[in-house]
Amino acid sequence: MSADEKKTGNENGRTGPEAAGTVRNRAAALRRQAVKSFRLNWRAQRLVWKVAKGYTILDYTFPLLNVCSNYWNIIFSARLLDAVLYDRDPAKLFLTAAALLGGNALIGLLRHLIGTENAGLGFGFRFRQRMIFGEKLMSLDYEALESEKVQAGYKRVERETFNDGKNLSALAMLPDVFANLLSIGIALGVFAEVFMRTHAMRGWLIAGLAFSLFGIWLSAYCDGGIQKCFEECQEKISENCVQRDGYMEYFGDYQRGKEIRIFQLGRLLIGKLMDSHHFNDRMLDERNRKCMRLGCLLEAGDIVVMAINRCVAAAAALAGWITVGGMMQYVEVLENLAQSVHAVAVEGCSLWYNAHYLERYFEFLDMPVRGNRRGSIPVEKRMDGDYRIRFEHVSFRYPGSEEWAVRDLSMEFTAGEKLAVVGMNGSGKSTFIKLLCRLYDPDEGTIYMNDIDIRRYDYREYLSLFSVVFQDFKLFSFTLGENVAVAEDYDREQVKDALEKAGLGEFLQRHEKGLDTVLYRNFDSGGVEISGGEAQKIALARAVCKGAALVILDEPTAALDPVSEYEIYRRFNDLVADRTTVYISHRMSSCRFCRDIAVFDRGRLVQRGSHEELMGQTGGKYYELWTAQAQHYVAET
């Protein structure tokens, strides 16, 4: 066996058949990727056509006009030159010049009109892209929205779309691809026309074209390789920049500014930012090293091809085989052909890698919207608020966790009840509320409302029954009235009444704009900063104003002392006296006024009854927690 046969047969440690199989597998993988890339780009194109038909049409029209303008100039400039040098016919010279100038004027006018219109439509399309993201995020189940994987995926796609130049449908590339393919077709047509008119130099033309095509292919190959390096580098940088952008947000976040200064976190944050920056530098250096050789070969090839073409054209013109105008046309058409082939190679590579982005994009858009998809039964609107809730052997654990947050929970409560759910942190109290509100669905068991599985109800209608103030409640940088009413148009008297009942009457009087006072300064420099106590009262007013049948307080006052928390709970109890109310707390004293107290421990319901009944069970969890906490109470409640 020769050395060459050994090399072929044992390449990468494989025998001949194995090596051939590897090549076939790679070819098959490339075909699958090509089909996948085509389907993703085609799906994206259909989506863009659906949301922005006018923008799509104009975006394809503009590069086609550029091609027309380019070849119009080449062809009529060559004919004008020949008319001056050879024909000497004023009429023909005038007509040729008029065609050149008139065509340019018409194409230029169309380009200006389309460009101006398309700029406005493009702005609307980019806004629509943001709306697509916003609508999807708003439709996702809370379970998905809380997922770290979903958040990371969204941030990556959002950054690629609006910062890294990726495009939903590759509109930045597809129109140019079609325009350049048209340019290639016209160039070959023009060359064929020159070829048919010049019999004497056909051999030279064929040789020059063959050499040019080889040079063009080589340059296009180099262009594609360079673009591949750029795309691979950009993907790595984009993934890293998601984290970098998170660090950057800390610098401008005034709500975190206190901690950054008190604990002198500036050095730590700048260090992490620099680490991210150094990673990007390493990726760019690696990209430049890979591209340098290809770039040198590309430039050398282009120069040699350009020189040979000019020499062939000049020799033909000197020999009288073609006119001076024909020489200029031949040279410029070949240069256009080379540029168009280069562009198709680069754009094709970009489309190939854009498919990786589109795969992430559609993976995000295709996430199931379980809450809105399941359930169609309308919720009965009962004036008496008679909604009976029953948990039947319900168990749940958070995605990725092996521990049960709630285990085999069975309990029932009915309209008008004041239920207190108490227990230590991590006992499953907040999870119980999330399951009740269908922010999550049970892994086992069933939750019923009026003897119907809550998953059968229309999701939005079911949510409308609840008004919840969570421990980590959030207010928004909207007006005070919008924060309470959760709407732009609202009953101002109703909102004022809710705020006054929540103890914010003085707050309204203190601020001239009243309900139109903007909270925080995120979007309005005239916004007001509010204290933690004021924020709690606004959140409580929001819960009251909604008028929901079931009201839940999930430890929104956990930062207060027991006496203050108890007073707020008692006051809120008076505000919602006619509604079913659930109070969540890890303090036994805070919910003592409720006659029905449920005690949770390690995800299970371990006791239930009134304060007196539970205190009578001296071996129970409630008695244990009460006596352990009693020493910290500064006054009896």
Quick one: pLDDT at residue 26?
A: 76
pLDDT-above-90 percentage for the chain:
10
Sequence-separated (6 or more) residues with CB below 8 Å from residue 31: none
| Lowest mean pLDDT, pick from 3-7, 285-289, 379-383, 474-478 | 3-7
Quick one: pLDDT at residue 106?
A: 92
| Lowest mean pLDDT, pick from 251-265, 266-280, 489-503 | 251-265
Name the nearest CA neighbour of 429 among 303, 613, 282, 591: 591
Averaging pLDDT over each range in 208-212, 541-545, 583-587, which range is the top one?
Answer: 541-545
pLDDT band at 635 (very low <50, low <70, confident <90, very high): very low
Give, for 543, the enclosing helix (H) or strand (E): helix 532-546
Quote the DSSP letter at residue 518: B
Quick one: pLDDT at residue 135?
A: 82
Averaging pLDDT over each range in 148-162, 218-232, 297-311, 611-625, which range is the top one?
Answer: 611-625
**pLDDT one-digit tens code per residue, 411-434:** 998 767 888 899 888 899 989 999
pLDDT band at 393 (very low <50, low <70, confident <90, very high): very high
Q: Mean pLDDT, to the nearest integer, of 271-300?
A: 78
Quick one: pLDDT at residue 348?
A: 77
pLDDT band at 6 (very low <50, low <70, confident <90, very high): very low
CA dihedral 290, 291, 292, 296 (to 10 degrees): 130
Name the nearest CA neighbour of 562 among 590, 601, 530, 598: 590
Q: Rounded to an integer, what distance in angstroms lies between the CA atom of residue 185 and that of residue 237?
A: 37
pLDDT band at 13 (very low <50, low <70, confident <90, very high): low
Q: Is the pLDDT assigned to residue 598 strictly greater than 90?
A: yes
CATH topology of domain 384-475+550-573+580-630: Rossmann fold (3.40.50)
pLDDT band at 248 (very low <50, low <70, confident <90, very high): confident
Q: Rounded to an integer, what distance in angstroms lies between the CA atom of residue 499 and that of residue 495?
A: 6
| SS3 (DSSP) at 32 | helix
Quick one: pLDDT at residue 98?
A: 92
Name the nearest CA neighbour of 339 among 215, 229, 231: 215
Sequence-separated (6 or more) residues with CB below 8 Å from residue 265: 259
pLDDT band at 20 (very low <50, low <70, confident <90, very high): low
Quote the DSSP letter at residue 211: H
Locus of tokens 């073609």 = 322
Phi, psi of 403 (to 5 degrees): -95, 140
- Letter for the amino acid at 285? D
Q: Is the pLDDT assigned to residue 63 strictly greater than 80?
A: yes
Q: Mean pLDDT, to the nearest integer, of 2-21?
A: 52
Q: Rounded to an integer, what distance in angstroms lies between the CA atom of residue 615 and that of residue 613?
A: 6
Q: Mean pLDDT, to the nearest integer, of 104-133?
A: 84
Q: What is the mean pLDDT of the chain?
A: 79
Name the nearest CA neighbour of 353 among 159, 166, 133: 166
Q: Rounded to an integer, what distance in angstroms lies between the CA atom of residue 43 and that of residue 349?
A: 18
Alpha helices (H) in 366-466, listed in sequence order: 370-373, 429-436, 459-463
Q: Rounded to an integer, what distance in angstroms lies between the CA atom of residue 209 and that of residue 217?
A: 12
Q: Higher pLDDT residue, 204 or 289?
A: 289
319-355 core/surface letters (b: 16 or more CB in 10 A; e: else): eebbbbbbbbbbbbbbbbbbbbbbbbbbbbbbbbbbb
Domain layout of the chain by residue ranges: 35-365, 384-475+550-573+580-630
Averaging pLDDT over each range in 200-214, 294-308, 403-417, which range is the top one?
Answer: 403-417
Q: Is residue 54 within 8 Å of 121, Cβ to Cβ? A: yes
The domain 35-365 having CATH identifier 1.20.1560.10: the answer here is yes
Quick one: pLDDT at residue 339?
A: 80
Q: Is the pLDDT assigned to residue 474 strictly greater than 90?
A: no
Averaging pLDDT over each range in 147-151, 210-214, 297-301, 507-511, which range is the top one?
Answer: 507-511
Give, for 584, the enclosing helix (H) or strand (E): strand 580-585
Averaging pLDDT over each range in 188-197, 234-243, 390-399, which range is the top one?
Answer: 390-399
Sequence-separated (6 or more) residues with CB below 8 Å from residue 244: 273, 276, 277, 280
Q: Mean pLDDT, to the nearest integer, of 464-471?
A: 86
**pLDDT one-digit tens code per residue, 366-376:** 887 654 446 77
Sequence-separated (6 or more) residues with CB below 8 Å from residue 402: none
Q: Is the pLDDT assigned to residue 440 strictly greater than 80?
A: yes
Quick one: pLDDT at residue 570?
A: 74
Name the nearest CA neighbour of 354 among 457, 228, 480, 471: 228
